[in-house]
């Protein structure tokens, strides 16, 4: 039955390269975020935040291109709702990455909290898994790997929740500067939200796999 279903999936030459461009761009911007938060140089961080902004624009362009293709093509490789959910979720991760970087810049944060880096690393790990899963959608030859990637993303999101909760609790207990608490909490929330969007994208991929694998 799986072989029969695979036969009827259009061998698309437009959508799959666009999906992979979107996930590849997400992987690239997540890597830059880790670099931006890990560097001790304010000047280097400023340059990396500019690169994050550039990649966010790249992501927007790819997203719009996919939506244009959805409008223009009667036949799509997967359900339109699943495609829309997947692409929107990937774009949301990129947006939250960009948002967290801009918060660091706008709030003039000079001391990077260790939890910022930990969450950025988890976002990068989630982006790696998403990229693997998206690439796997092209031919659906190794469904187990796609599912494993989605399970790992779920674990990553749970880990991010734990870091967020523990850091907030510690922050309220130890930090006396109210303004610093607000800034730190806002950045933590945005970083953690990026992992939530990774999970949303993984759920969209899982839905596709259930229907077509």
Residue-wise over 74-92: b if at least 16 C-beta within 10 A, else e? eebbbeeebbebbbbbbbb
In this structure, what CATH number is given to the domain that contains residue 67? 1.20.58.220
9, pLDDT greater than 90 = no
**Residues in the chain, how many?**
213
Model pLDDT, residue 12: 59
Residues of the chain with pLDDT > 90, as a percent, come to: 86
Q: Is residue 148 part of a domain?
A: yes
Does 6 map to a domain? no
Choose the weakest-confidence range: 3-17, 158-172, 179-193: 3-17
Determine, yes or no, domain membership for 141.
yes
Per-residue pLDDT band for 50 (boundaries 50, 70, 90) equals very high
**Structure confidence at residue 135 (pLDDT):** 96
Q: Out of 18-27, 76-85, 93-102, 128-137, pick the least confident.
A: 76-85
Which residue from 106, 210, 207, 118 is spatially nearest to 162, judged by alpha carbons? 118
**Torsion angle in degrees (nearest 10) through CA of 96, 103, 24, 198:** -30
58 within some domain: yes
- Distance separating alpha carbons of residues 147 and 104, to the nearest angstrom: 34
pLDDT of 2 above 60? no
Position 212 scores a pLDDT of: 84
Name 171's Cβ contacts closer than 8 Å, sequence gap at least 6: 181, 184, 185
Among 135, 139, 24, 13, CA closest to 76 = 13
- Report the pLDDT value the prediction gives residue 5, as an integer from 0 to 100: 45
Q: How many domains, the chain? A: 1
Distance CA 110, CA 107 (A): 9
The range of the structural domain enclosing residue 46 comes to 14-212
On whether residue 56 sits in a domain, the answer given is yes
* pLDDT, averaged across the chain: 93
Does 187 map to a domain? Answer: yes
Give a yes or no: residue 2 inside a domain: no
User: Does a structural domain hold residue 67?
Assistant: yes
- Taking the C-alpha atoms of residue 212 and residue 200, their distance in angstroms, rounded to an integer, is 19
| Tens-place pLDDT, residues 97-141 | 999 999 999 999 999 999 999 999 999 999 999 999 999 999 888
pLDDT class for 81, splitting at 50, 70, 90?
very high
pLDDT at 1: 45
């Amino acid at each position: 039955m799986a072989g029969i279903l695979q036969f009827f999936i259009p061998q698309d030459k437009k959508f799959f390269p666009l999906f992979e461009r979107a996930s590849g761009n997400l992987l690239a911007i997540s890597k830059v975020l880790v670099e931006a938060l890990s560097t001790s140089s304010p000047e280097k961080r400023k340059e990396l935040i500019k690169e994050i902004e550039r990649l966010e624009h790249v992501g927007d362009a790819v997203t719009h291109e996919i939506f244009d293709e959805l409008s223009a093509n009667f036949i799509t490789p997967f359900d339109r709702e699943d495609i829309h959910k997947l692409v929107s979720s990937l774009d949301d991760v990129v947006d939250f990455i960009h948002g967290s970087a801009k918060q660091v810049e706008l709030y003039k944060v000079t001391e990077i909290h260790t939890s910022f880096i930990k969450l950025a690393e988890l976002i990068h790990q989630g982006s790696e898994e998403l990229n693997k899963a998206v690439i796997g959608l092209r031919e659906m030859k190794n469904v187990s790997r796609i599912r494993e990637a989605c399970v790992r993303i779920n674990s990553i999101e749970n880990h991010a929740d734990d870091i967020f909760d523990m850091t907030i609790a510690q922050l309220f207990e130890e930090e006396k500067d109210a303004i610093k608490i607000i800034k730190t909490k806002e950045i933590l929330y945005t970083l953690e939200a990026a992992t939530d969007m990774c999970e949303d994208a993984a759920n969209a991929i899982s839905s596709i796999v259930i229907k077509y694998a």
